[in-house]
Amino acid sequence: MTPFPIEQVRAQFPALVNPAAYLDNPAGTQVPRPVSAAVAAAMTDAASNLGGYFQASQAADAVYEQAHEAMAVMLGGASGREIVIGQSMTMLTFQMSRSLGRSWGPGDELIVTQMDHEGNVSPWLRLAEDRGMTVRWLPFNRDSWRIEPDELKPLLSDRTRLLALNYASNLTGSINPLAELTRLARRAGALVYVDAVQFVPHGKAEVAQLDCDFLACSAYKFFGPHLGVLWGRESLLAETYAYAVRCAPQAPPGRHETGTPQTELLAGLAAAAGYMAWLGDQSGATGSVADRIAGAYAAATRYEMDLAQQLIDGLLRIPGVKVQGITDARQRDRRVPTVSITHPGHRNSALARALAAQGINVWSGHNYALELARSLGLDEQEGVLRIGLAHYNTLGEVERILAALRALLRP
């Protein structure tokens, strides 16, 4: 097995020359050189609208196509026609909720979970409020730290129109058994809308295997620019009502991308996929771009989860610390390297501020996992102290935050 190329990886990220330890990755990762270079090049070479006869416009057309095709490869889709790109995952979800729910009304039901980020909760709550629909809340299991199929089954009926759930939690790091949950929902005749924002930075989503209807993610969480990406079944994207200008394209994905695209950010998005293929090369993967990206994810996951387990084990040795999530090394395949903690004697905001003063970047609060914080009985404002690893982090950084927390939490 090829050793993980951590030095080559870190050399790709200019921000890492900063002495800060970037452990805030669930809220947004740093950007490799190819991404920022692609953005700058597009600002110079493709600063034009689409569809023209001249060179700059044709260059913009090429950037648009490359970004959509690259995301189809990353997410396991069939083609770029299944990819909708917009301002953010949350905005895309609000948009699609309105399009999907246009024909729904009283008597129809939506299922949302107590585990999700608000970006995959509030759009559906607002839709239900506007259309007079019923909302069913799906709890997460406190023993397994994930959504269990047996708890979904009694909520499904012939009135269920859609199940909205996440692939991985942005607070606990737990990975849900998505294929099984999707199978149950689709068997009941419901659509399945997946928030994969926290999974895609750490694992290769394969939408064909998951058999979901929609899957959304955020490029700035997987080393790209600030854009939201939505995969959808082409037939659904083609037939779902689009809130767009009258002269917008009628075929997907353009029918759901009204307005001038952010060409420079699309260039950065394609480059983020290219970076993952490069990482696959460095990790010994061969074959197609999809194969190399899959190899990158496999190598990065092994590396990240080794670090995450050392972080978890170290945290558990600090008196009073509670890890809000899976801690058993035998179940590491059921989580991503996002580790949240609480301590009864310390405010998480104060800890985050103290760590920031030492150049250690973390987040505190509910991190928009509002229902999950409530379910765990946490203070809604203080929430957790969240430490999130990416594949450019090091054991030295793990040891650094452990040492800082031991000092801060000393009795």
Find, among 320, 308, 281, the residue nearest to 398 by Cα: 308
Residue 348 lies in a domain: yes
Residues 106 and 217 in one domain: yes
Residues 20 and 75 in one domain: no
Residues 95 and 241 in one domain: yes
Residues 85 and 186 in one domain: yes
Tell me the CATH number at 171.
3.40.640.10
What residue type is 65 in one-letter code? Answer: E
Can the peptide bond before residue 139 be classed as cis, meaning omega within 30 degrees of 0? no
Tell me the CATH number at 379.
3.90.1150.10
Residue 284 lies in a domain: no
Residues 305 and 345 in one domain: yes
* Domain range enclosing 323: 6-33+289-408
Residue 1 lies in a domain: no
Residues 166 and 183 in one domain: yes
Could you tell me the CA-to-CA distances from 100 to 135, 242, 250 in Å, in that order? 15, 9, 16
Residue numbers of the chain with a pLDDT score lower than 50:
none
**Tokens encoding 96:** 């699609």
pLDDT of residue 2: 81
Neighbours of 406 (CB within 10 A): 15
pLDDT of residue 179: 97
Residues 88 and 184 in one domain: yes
pTM metric for this prediction: 0.97
Could you tell me the CA-to-CA distances from 354 to 21, 347, 401 in Å, in that order? 14, 11, 11
pLDDT of residue 397: 98
Residue 375 lies in a domain: yes
Residues 99 and 231 in one domain: yes
Find, among 17, 31, 40, 9, the residue nearest to 226 by Cα: 31
Provide φ and ψ at 388, rounded to 5°: -125, 125
SS3 260: coil
Could you tell me the CA-to-CA distances from 226 to 26, 218, 259, 266, 349 in Å, in that order? 14, 7, 17, 10, 26
